[in-house]
Amino acid sequence: MAKLLHTNLLLEGAAVQSAPVGSAPKASAKTKGPKSKTLSYIIFGAVILIGGTIVGYLYLAEYFGNKMSQYEDIVQHPLRMPDGMKPGGGGDPSPMPTDPDEQLPSPTTKRSGGLVQIPWIGAYEKLISSLAKADFEIFSITSGAEGRIYISGRTSGEITESIIPGITFAGIDMLDSRVSEGGTTFLADAKLAPIEEISFDPAPVPPYERGEVIRKLDTMAKSAGLKGVSTQAVGHEKIAEGSRYSISVTGAGTIGNIVAFTESAMEMKSMMEIGKITIESVSDKSIKEGEVRFGLVYRVYDLPPIKTPAVEQPLAAEL
């Protein structure tokens, strides 16, 4: 038997009470009696409501517009040119060059279970900790499609797959380069390889533990010396065998602060990875030397673990 689904969206204890209207507003307006007064108040109220709605809409549009622009500003700029650079040829940036032979690194790893779906766990952390070892100036790094990183920098040497010590990119394409004072300023599209193995068995994060993860990440970011930290849930989705939640962490500090934060987050040994990343210098200096602002989007997973089948059923999951 189907159940009736009666919901209540009206304000609790403030159900909208009727105002008696004897007839159409035009007729009652002529009488100038209490009914017409009530009607006038209602119509006045409706006008105020519509006015308020318009003002509210405009305010909200601006508010959310600002929020979105802030968010976009700090979290994702897949093809944005770094400050001070203009697209070559005087035209708009051309679309990503597509090479038929070009292949993204295979996400297949030695893992099993639900973890095969998260091949980038630890990969961005390793990249971030290696940035400080690079012997060229990096002005910004931004993630693009899965496993791709856009690096803008300046170097006097050659740009190769091993330009960042400790990281071997699966390929690097130069999107833009020009000779300038102090070396060649470039924007490169680098393909990051997934981590082959991780040294721990990450624990799935059921939905009811998401709040704890958000609080922990927030605390860790602040403890690492980062400033203006904002940590919040920014989305969720169902994936095969489970679900995935996105948590953004934004703020400012030094690259050392960010490395300290991401390493401490790894120590949680939770089933989560950095899915999106933006680190950019807020000055003329490279990100190794000056202050940076950053945005990270952690993907937190509720997937079957590799080894331990005896895991409590998650308390909640969206259908």
Partner 1 sequence: MDEAKAVVVETDISPKGILIEKIASFPITDKQVFWGRIADFDGLIPRFAEIKKTQKWKAKLASINLPMHFCDIKAFDFPKAYVKKSNIEWEIQSNFVGDPSLYRFDSIEAGKSKRGITELVLGAIAEAVDERATLLASIGLNAVAVEPDILSFYNGLASTMLSFPAPSVLLIDISYPYSSFALVKDNVFIPGGNVKVSEDFLRGVSLDAVPGFAQDLSKAFSRKFELAGFDMGEHKPQMLIVGGLSVDDNVADLIAKELEIPPYRKNPLAEGLVKLKDKKIVLSWQSYIKALGLALRN
Which residues would be at the binding site for partner 1 (CB under 8 A)? Answer: 1-11, 15-21, 23-26, 39, 42-43, 45-47, 49-50, 52-53, 56, 60, 207-208, 210-211, 233-236, 238, 240, 245, 313, 315-319
User: Judged by CB, which is closer to partner 1: 3, or 30?
Assistant: 3
Q: How many CB atoms within 10 Å of residue 80?
A: 18
CB of 58 to partner 1, least distance (A): 13
Burial class (CB within 10 angstroms; exposed 0-12, middle 13-18, buried 19+) of 184? middle
Pairwise CA distance, residues 272 & 120, whole Å: 9
Pairwise CA distance, residues 149 & 162, whole Å: 14
Residues in Cβ contact with 248 at an 8 Å cutoff, skipping those fewer than 6 apart: 71, 75, 230, 231, 232, 234, 295, 296, 297, 298
CB of 88 to partner 1, least distance (A): 38
User: Judged by CB, which is closer to partner 1: 139, or 245?
Assistant: 245
CB of 64 to partner 1, least distance (A): 8
CB of 296 to partner 1, least distance (A): 19
User: Judged by CB, which is closer to partner 1: 200, or 208?
Assistant: 208
User: Judged by CB, which is closer to partner 1: 1, or 179?
Assistant: 1
DSSP 167-207: ---SEEEEEEEEEETTEEEEEEEEEPPPPS--SS-PBP--G
CB of 305 to partner 1, least distance (A): 19
CB of 3 to partner 1, least distance (A): 6
205 secondary structure, DSSP code: -
Pairwise CA distance, residues 106 & 109, whole Å: 8
Backbone phi and psi for residue 117, each to the nearest 5 degrees, phi listed first:
-85, -10
**How many residues are listed for the chain in this entry?**
319
User: Judged by CB, which is closer to partner 1: 270, or 281?
Assistant: 270
User: Judged by CB, which is closer to partner 1: 126, or 216?
Assistant: 216
